């Protein structure tokens, strides 16, 4: 079972839910949690644990070979991302714009654009008790998160195929990186909060998972703030609410210190039990 | 005209609340651009007049003409994104997988693959209920090229700001440090960081600052929810001192933030006596820096 935890809006409690659910689940089943918020991963703050494995991840971008280049300039017209520019007698490659499609490299009549590996980020595998945890971190200054997310999912397939539960902590938003993170999931939990911002961004996330034809449910965090617009929407759309985590200052304080919640806050433990029971009902 | 961008690294630190409060303070001499294009929320507070969106095209997607396709399979073999597969004897493109590189278009021996431009979203320019102009956008679901839409919103906003003769353009950015954030940084004069007194807030601020430092951009920081964890707040302040990031002061944890959002108000409207002095002070500090 692969479960993605996502939300349109940032800061609704994706990581909080993901780390607590993963740790609790690991008590009864083989569980792996993957932090796929590769631009700003925070799961390790809460999980810590011992490093089991660390892997550099690379991507391939063209490198210009001046000696063999006849300066025909065709590569610059092929590249859909404007990652190649001809400046006088120089072909300038801008790796940040490159999507590693290989078109320029393989079509170049002179073979003057061999693909070379450049670092993309790291994947670290930690273990805490029975829980396996992977954290993927994009190198700062790189623009594209999706390729690292893709490689992280491959890493999960290679190393944790037999785990009962794989939990994916997704990046915020509804753009390509969020899509990449959730699309391979069997089920999606959307975390939201009962404010107009939370609702507005939830609607976008719902539209996204519906387009992907993925089954999903909602968990309401900070229940008690805002207004009842969210509940009315969920009812009208017949969207299942799996749990509500109450708005409590104590939770915010524990979160701020990077602490696990479910062993300290009964309401969180109850919410997680409800979610695990629902998950069991699916399989 | 000075362009100020508000960023946070982490989501949910209060970027948009701070942005709308600052915009309210300077409402007669400002233009606001919401560059969080895949989860734009400012319009919920600023309630701009209803105007039709303008379609925005960027990038392409491959389309195989089944009539022309001879099912040679070269496109599927060359596609690095596994976007092309055989379906009932013909090849076809899965649009969600296609990254629009056009490699297949160039190599198809029977020219069966077209590469139409993609509509990736809409943008809007409208007068907000507070009187200033708001430029905002809506990226289509799962769309690539969010950075291109951010750049479009910014260029429309900049032009309009000049036309109106306003001195300040305030940009609400995305969370993260990737494509839309990097795009929102182009041409800015000053960066205002909104973090929160949590270890996640600090960690995300550190990564964001490393990015800003690469572009040598000057910035200042606000610590929101500062009293939720005074010891992390002081760690954040230490980080700011070390990196020479100007301190714009603290904002205490307050229920006024979700309340104001729920009512579609700025914090100034939520509680004028409490918040006007706070944000006037912050704005004054920003103006002094730029």
Report the CATH number at residue B89: 3.30.70.20
Predicted pLDDT at B141: 84
Average pLDDT over residues B129-145: 91
A210 and A90 within one domain: no
Of B101, B103, B214, the CB nearest to A141: B214
A76 and A38 within one domain: no
B242 and B108 within one domain: no
Antiparallel, parallel or unpaired: β A216-223 and A241-246: parallel
B47 and B81 within one domain: no
A261 and A204 within one domain: yes
The Cα B206–Cα B184 span in angstroms is 18
CB within 8 Å of B83: residues ≥ 6 apart? B62, B93, B94, B97, B98, B99
Contacts of B228 in chain A (CB under 8 A): 249, 252-253, 256
Range of the domain at B84: 62-115
A76 and A43 within one domain: no
Predicted pLDDT at B216: 93
Q: What confidence tens digit (pLDDT) does each residue in B53-93 have?
A: 999 999 999 999 999 999 999 999 999 999 999 998 999 99
B240 and B197 within one domain: yes
The Cα B288–Cα B290 span in angstroms is 6
Domain boundary among B115, B138, B155: B115
The Cα A154–Cα A163 span in angstroms is 14
Contact B80 A225 (CB under 8 A): no
A100 and A42 within one domain: no
A232 and A162 within one domain: yes
| Residue B6 pLDDT greater than 90, yes or no | yes
Contacts of B143 in chain A (CB under 8 A): 175-176
The Cα A127–Cα A125 span in angstroms is 7
Contacts of A183 in chain B (CB under 8 A): 96
Tell me the residue length of chain B: 290
Residue in A closest to B213 by C-alpha: A141
B95 lies within 8 A of chain A by CB: no
Report the CATH number at residue A80: 3.30.70.20
H helix and E strand count, chain B: 11, 13
The tally of domains found in chain B comes to 2
Q: Are A66 and A200 in contact (CB under 8 A)?
A: no
Domain boundary among B99, B115, B131: B115
The tally of domains found in chain A comes to 2
Contacts of A107 in chain B (CB under 8 A): 103, 106-107
Of B13, B38, B78, the CB nearest to A175: B38
B235 lies within 8 A of chain A by CB: no
Contacts of B59 in chain A (CB under 8 A): 80
Q: What does the buried/exposed string (b/e) look like for B75-91 if buried means 16 or more CB atoms within 10 Å of the residue's CB?
A: bbebbebebbeeeeeeb
Contacts of B11 in chain A (CB under 8 A): 9-12, 172
A102 Cα distance to chain centroid: 25
Q: Are A223 and A247 in contact (CB under 8 A)?
A: yes
Contact A200 B41 (CB under 8 A): yes
Of A101, A142, A197, the CB nearest to B99: A101
The Cα B64–Cα B139 span in angstroms is 25
A196 and A68 within one domain: no
Predicted pLDDT at B145: 76
A50 and A34 within one domain: yes
Residue from A5, A10, A247 to probe the interface with B (highest B Cβ count within 10 Å): A10
ipTM for the predicted complex comes to 0.92
Q: Are A207 and A201 in contact (CB under 8 A)?
A: no
The Cα B186–Cα B182 span in angstroms is 7
B269 and B168 within one domain: yes
A97-to-A84, A85, A194, B10, B52 alpha-carbon distances in Å: 9, 11, 38, 24, 31
Predicted pLDDT at A64: 97
Q: What confidence tens digit (pLDDT) does each residue in B159-198 have?
A: 999 999 999 999 999 999 999 999 999 999 999 999 999 9
Antiparallel, parallel or unpaired: β A84-87 and A131-138: unpaired
The Cα A252–Cα B247 span in angstroms is 23
User: Token digits for B161?
Assistant: 């700001």
A234 and A193 within one domain: yes
Q: Are B187 and B36 in contact (CB under 8 A)?
A: no
Burial of A283 (C-beta count, 10 Å sphere; 0-12/13-18/19+) = exposed
Average pLDDT over residues B211-222: 95
In angstroms, how far is the first alpha carbon of chain B from the final one? 11
Contact B11 A201 (CB under 8 A): no
B253 and B138 within one domain: yes
Contacts of A39 in chain B (CB under 8 A): 175-178, 181, 207
Q: What confidence tens digit (pLDDT) does each residue in B20-38 have?
A: 999 999 999 999 999 999 8
CB atoms within 10 A of CB B213: 14
The Cα A138–Cα A145 span in angstroms is 7
A132 and A35 within one domain: yes
Contacts of A197 in chain B (CB under 8 A): 16, 41, 44, 261
Q: Are B285 and B246 in contact (CB under 8 A)?
A: yes
B204 and B183 within one domain: yes
A212 and A107 within one domain: no
Phi and psi torsions of A131, nearest 5°: -85, 130
Contact B101 A101 (CB under 8 A): yes
All residue ranges of chain A with pLDDT < 50 are: none
Looking at CA atoms only, how far is residue A104 from chain B in angstroms? 8
B133 and B29 within one domain: yes
Q: Which residues pair with A135 in a beta bridge?
A: A35, A124
Of A78, A143, A253, the CB nearest to B106: A78
B215 and B76 within one domain: no
Report the CATH number at residue A39: 3.40.50.300
The Cα B158–Cα B31 span in angstroms is 9
Report the CATH number at residue B180: 3.40.50.300
Predicted pLDDT at B143: 82
Rounded percentage of chain B residues whose pLDDT exceeds 70: 100
The Cα A222–Cα A231 span in angstroms is 13
Contacts of A81 in chain B (CB under 8 A): 101
Contact B228 A249 (CB under 8 A): yes
Of B12, B60, B144, the CB nearest to A12: B12
Domain boundary among B85, B115, B145: B115
Contact A145 B178 (CB under 8 A): yes
CB within 8 Å of A158: residues ≥ 6 apart? none
**Helix, strand, coil percentages, rounded to 5, for chain A:** 35, 30, 35
B272 and B217 within one domain: yes
Contact B60 A80 (CB under 8 A): yes
| Residue B45 pLDDT greater than 80, yes or no | yes
Predicted pLDDT at A103: 98
> Which of B11, B17, B46 is closest to B253 using CA atoms?
B17
Contact A175 B139 (CB under 8 A): yes
A69 and A52 within one domain: no
| Residue B247 pLDDT greater than 90, yes or no | yes
B20 lies within 8 A of chain A by CB: no
Range of the domain at A92: 64-113
What's chain B's average pLDDT?
A: 95
| Residue B144 pLDDT greater than 90, yes or no | no
> Which of A160, A149, A95, A158 is closest to A123 using CA atoms?
A149
Domain boundary among A90, A113, A136: A113
Predicted pLDDT at A163: 97
B134 and B275 within one domain: yes
B240 and B196 within one domain: yes
Phi and psi torsions of B135, nearest 5°: -110, 125
Q: State whether the Cα torsion A33-A36-A37-A38 is positive or negative.
A: positive
A167-to-A49, A110, A184, B19, B64 alpha-carbon distances in Å: 17, 46, 11, 34, 36
Q: State whether the Cα torsion B199-B200-B203-B209 is positive or negative.
A: negative
B260 and B126 within one domain: yes
User: Token digits for B277?
Assistant: 């002095």
């Amino acid at each position: 079972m692969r479960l993605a935890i996502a939300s349109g809006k940032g800061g609704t409690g994706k990581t909080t839910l993901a780390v607590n659910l993963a740790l609790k689940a690991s008590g009864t089943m083989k569980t792996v949690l993957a932090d796929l918020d590769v631009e700003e991963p925070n799961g390790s703050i809460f999980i810590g644990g011992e490093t089991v494995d660390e892997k550099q991840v690379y991507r391939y971008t063209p490198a210009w070979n001046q000696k063999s280049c006849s300066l025909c300039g065709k590569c610059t017209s092929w590249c859909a991302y404007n990652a190649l520019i001809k400046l006088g007698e120089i072909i300038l490659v801008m790796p940040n714009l490159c999507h590693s499609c290989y078109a320029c490299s393989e079509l170049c009549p002179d073979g003057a654009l061999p693909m070379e590996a450049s670092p993309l980020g790291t994947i670290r595998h930690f273990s805490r008790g029975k829980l396996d945890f992977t954290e993927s971190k994009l190198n700062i200054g790189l623009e594209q998160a999706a390729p690292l997310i893709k490689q992280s999912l491959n890493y999960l397939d290679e190393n944790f195929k037999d785990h009962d539960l794989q939990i994916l902590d997704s990046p915020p938003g509804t753009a390509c990186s969020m899509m990449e993170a959730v699309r391979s999931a069997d089920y999606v939990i959307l975390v939201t909060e009962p404010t107009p911002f939370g609702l507005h961004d939830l609607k976008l996330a719902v539209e996204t998972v519906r387009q992907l034809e993925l089954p999903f449910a909602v968990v309401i965090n900070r229940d008690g703030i805002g207004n009842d617009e969210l509940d009315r929407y969920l009812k009208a759309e017949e969207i299942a609410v799996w749990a509500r985590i109450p708005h409590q200052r104590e939770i915010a304080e524990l979160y701020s210190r990077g602490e696990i919640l479910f062993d300290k806050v009964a309401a969180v433990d109850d919410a997680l039990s409800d979610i695990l029971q629902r998950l069991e009902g699916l399989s | 005209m000075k362009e100020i961008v508000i960023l946070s690294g982490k989501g949910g630190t209060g970027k948009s609340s701070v942005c709308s409060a600052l915009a309210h303070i300077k409402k007669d001499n400002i233009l606001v651009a919401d560059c969080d294009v895949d989860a734009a929320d400012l319009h919920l507070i600023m309630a701009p007049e209803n105007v039709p969106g303008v379609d925005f095209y960027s990038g392409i997607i491959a389309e195989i003409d089944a009539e022309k396709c001879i099912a040679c399979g070269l496109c599927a073999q060359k596609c690095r994104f596994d976007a092309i597969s055989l379906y009932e004897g013909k090849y076809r493109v899965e649009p969600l997988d296609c990254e629009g590189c056009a490699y297949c278009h160039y190599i198809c021996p029977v020219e069966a693959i077209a590469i139409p431009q993609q509509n990736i979203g809409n943008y809007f320019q409208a007068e907000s209920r507070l009187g200033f102009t708001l430029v905002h956008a809506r990226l289509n679901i799962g769309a690539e090229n969010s950075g291109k839409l951010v750049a479009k919103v910014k260029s429309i906003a900049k032009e309009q700001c000049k036309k109106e003769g306003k001195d300040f353009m305030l940009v609400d950015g995305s969370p993260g440090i990737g494509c839309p954030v990097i795009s929102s940084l182009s041409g800015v004069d000053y960066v205002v960081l909104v973090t929160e007194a949590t270890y996640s807030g600090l960690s995300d601020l550190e990564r964001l600052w490393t990015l800003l430092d690469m572009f040598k951009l000057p910035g200042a920081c606000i610590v929101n929810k500062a009293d939720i964890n005074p010891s992390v707040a002081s760690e954040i302040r230490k980080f700011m001192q070390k990196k020479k990031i100007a301190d714009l002061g603290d904002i205490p944890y307050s229920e006024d933030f979700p309340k104001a959002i729920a009512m579609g108000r700025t914090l100034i409207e939520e509680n004028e006596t409490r918040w006007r002095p706070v944000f006037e002070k912050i704005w004054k500090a920003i103006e002094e820096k730029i």
